[in-house]
C-alpha cells in the first residue's frame, strides 16, 4: 500500500508517540488512578527505567534523526512496543489488572508497525497478507458447480466460525478479564441479532451469486472465472465485505462487547486499505474493460441512488 509522503508521516507519528508517551509517564507518577488503570501493581519506577529510553526517547529520535539513524531508532521503539504489549497483555490476563494499559499498547503497536514500514520502505507491504488461502487465483475450471457449492459452504462454515465465533468470544473473554467492558445501551442485544441475521443473509446471497454465476468461490485462492454483476453485485461491488463487517458489528452487539465492535471496524479498514486495492487490480487484470466499466457504474460500499451518466 503506497502512501504519499510516507516517511514524513512516519516521523510525525513517532513524534506524536513520543509526546504521548511522555505525557502518560507524567500522569502515571502524578495520579494514582492512571497508574492503577495502566500498570496495575507493577512498579512504575522499574518500568520507567526501561520504557522511557526505549519508547519515549527512541520514538523522539525516530522523528528527529537523519533517515538511517531514524530507522534504527524506529526499529528499537517498535520492537519494544510489541514486546511490552505482549508482556502487559499476559500480566493483565493473569492478574485482571492494567487492562487500560493493554488497550493503549495494542493501539501503539499497530501505529508503530505502520509507521516503521513507512519509514523503512515508504509504503506498507500489504501484499505480504495475500498468501496461502488469501492469494488471488482463479478456481479450477474443470470443477463442477456442485463442487464449487460444496467448497463455498465449507468456506462459510470455517471463516464464519473463526472470525464471527471463535475470535469474538476470545476478545469478549479478554475484555472481561482485563476489566475494560462498558455498559452498552439497552436494546443492543436484539439489535445485534437482527443485524447478524440480515448481514448473514446478504453474505449467503453474495456467496451464492459468485458460485452460481461466476464459476468459482468467494475464497481468493479459488476466485470466479467470470465477472459477476448479478444479485447484490448490482448494488455494490463488495457485498461480502459489507456483510462481513456488519456481521462482526452485530456479533459485538450480541456479546455487548465494544472491543468486538472495534475488531470488526478495524477489520474493515484493513480490508479497504490493505486488501481491496490488490483485489481490484487483480480483477482489472482478469476482466479488463468489463471490470473497469462495472467499477465506474457501481460503488464499492454504498449503492447509487441513480445511475451515473
Domain count, the chain: 2
In a shared domain, residues 240 and 253: yes
Angle, CA 217 vertex, CA 262 and CA 284 arms, to 5°: 85
Element holding 243 (H helix, E strand): helix 239-254
Residue 195 lies in a domain: yes
Residue 46 lies in a domain: yes
Cell of 202: 446478504
Neighbours of 153 (CB within 10 A): 14
Last residue of a domain, one of 63, 92, 124: 124
In a shared domain, residues 39 and 180: no
Residue 94 lies in a domain: yes
- pLDDT at residue number 194: 97
> Could you report the per-residue pLDDT of 255-289, keeping only the tens digit for each?
999 999 999 999 999 999 999 999 999 999 999 99
Confidence (pTM): 0.92
Last residue of a domain, one of 124, 139, 163: 124
In a shared domain, residues 109 and 208: no
Q: What is the DSSP string of 44-73?
A: HHHHHHHHIIIIIIHHHHHHHS-HHHHHHH
List all residues 6 or more positions away from 4 whose beta carbon is below 8 Å from its beta carbon: none
Residue 302 lies in a domain: no
In a shared domain, residues 34 and 100: yes
Last residue of a domain, one of 64, 94, 124: 124
Report the greatest alpha carbon distance in the chain.
69
User: Domain range spanning residue 139?
Assistant: 129-297
Residue 309 lies in a domain: no
Of the candidates 282, 33, 96, 255, the one whose C-alpha atom is nearest the C-alpha of residue 164 is 255
In a shared domain, residues 72 and 216: no
In a shared domain, residues 97 and 202: no
- pLDDT at residue number 307: 55
Residue 303 lies in a domain: no
The ranges of the chain with pLDDT < 70 are 1-4, 142, 306-309
Amino acid at each position: 500500500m503506497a502512501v504519499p509522503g510516507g516517511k514524513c508521516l512516519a516521523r510525525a507519528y513517532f513524534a506524536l508517540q513520543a509526546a504521548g508517551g511522555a505525557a502518560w509517564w507524567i500522569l502515571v507518577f502524578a495520579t494514582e488512578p492512571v497508574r492503577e488503570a495502566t500498570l496495575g501493581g507493577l512498579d512504575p519506577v522499574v518500568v520507567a527505567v526501561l520504557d522511557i529510553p526505549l519508547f519515549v526517547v527512541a520514538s523522539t529520535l525516530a522523528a528527529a534523526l537523519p533517515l538511517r539513524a531514524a530507522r534504527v531508532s524506529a526499529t528499537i521503539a517498535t520492537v519494544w512496543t510489541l514486546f511490552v504489549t505482549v508482556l502487559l497483555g499476559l500480566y493483565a490476563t493473569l492478574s485482571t489488572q492494567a487492562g487500560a494499559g493493554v488497550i493503549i499498547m495494542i493501539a501503539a503497536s499497530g501505529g508503530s508497525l505502520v509507521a516503521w514500514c513507512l519509514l523503512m520502505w515508504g509504503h506498507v507491504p500489504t501484499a505480504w497478507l495475500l498468501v496461502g488461502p488469501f492469494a488471488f487465483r482463479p478456481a479450477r475450471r474443470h470443477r463442477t458447480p456442485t463442487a464449487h457449492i460444496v467448497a463455498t459452504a465449507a468456506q462459510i462454515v470455517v471463516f464464519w466460525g473463526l472470525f464471527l465465533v471463535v475470535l469474538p468470544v476470545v476478545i469478549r473473554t479478554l475484555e472481561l478479564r482485563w476489566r475494560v467492558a462498558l455498559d452498552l445501551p439497552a436494546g443492543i442485544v436484539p439489535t445485534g441479532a437482527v443485524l447478524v441475521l440480515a448481514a448473514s443473509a446478504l453474505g449467503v446471497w453474495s456467496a451464492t451469486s459468485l458460485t452460481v454465476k461466476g464459476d468459482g468461490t468467494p475464497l481468493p485462492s479459488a476466485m470466479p472465472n467470470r465477472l459477476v454483476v448479478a444479485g447484490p453485485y448490482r448494488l455494490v461491488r463488495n457485498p461480502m465485505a459489507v456483510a462481513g463487517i456488519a456481521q462482526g458489528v452485530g456479533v459485538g452487539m450480541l456479546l455487548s462487547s465494544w472491543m468486538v465492535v472495534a475488531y470488526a471496524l478495524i477489520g474493515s479498514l484493513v480490508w479497504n486499505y490493505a486488501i481491496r486495492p490488490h483485489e481490484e487490480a487483480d480483477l482489472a487484470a482478469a476482466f479488463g474493460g468489463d471490470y473497469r466499466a462495472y467499477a465506474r457504474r457501481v460503488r464499492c460500499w454504498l449503492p447509487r441512488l441513480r445511475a451515473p451518466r
